[in-house]
Amino acid sequence: MASAPAQQPTLTVEQARVVLSEVIQAFSVPENAARMEEARESACNDMGKMLQLVLPVATQIQQEVIKAYGFNNEGE
């Protein structure tokens, strides 16, 4: 028997603004900025490689922030 999916947290508009601000700030952290720059350089302006290399790094950075608000790392 499959278990019921976990209920996703809800945010007010103001909370969403705070989370978005924190995500944007996370990209400015030197370590994260270096990770993003390395991924961009490795992609060499190739859109396919951007999706393979840059998107996962960006997603990881974003997930590190939003998990504090009750969201999971499953990408939903």
Q: Please write the tens of the pLDDT for every residue from 12-36.
A: 999 999 999 999 999 999 999 999 9
- pLDDT, position 54: 94
What integer is the mean pLDDT of 45-53?
Answer: 91
Q: Give residue-wise pLDDT tens across range 58-72.
A: 999 999 999 988 887
> Following DSSP, what letter does each residue of 27-54 receive, concatenated?
HHSHHHHHHHHHHHHHHTT-HHHIIIII
Q: Which residue has the tokens 């999706």?
A: 51
- pLDDT, position 6: 63
* Pairwise CA distance, residues 30 & 57, whole Å: 14
* Pairwise CA distance, residues 14 & 35, whole Å: 29
Reply yes or no on whether the pLDDT at 4 is more than 70. no
Q: Which of 29, 30, 31, 52 is CA-nearest to residue 42?
A: 52
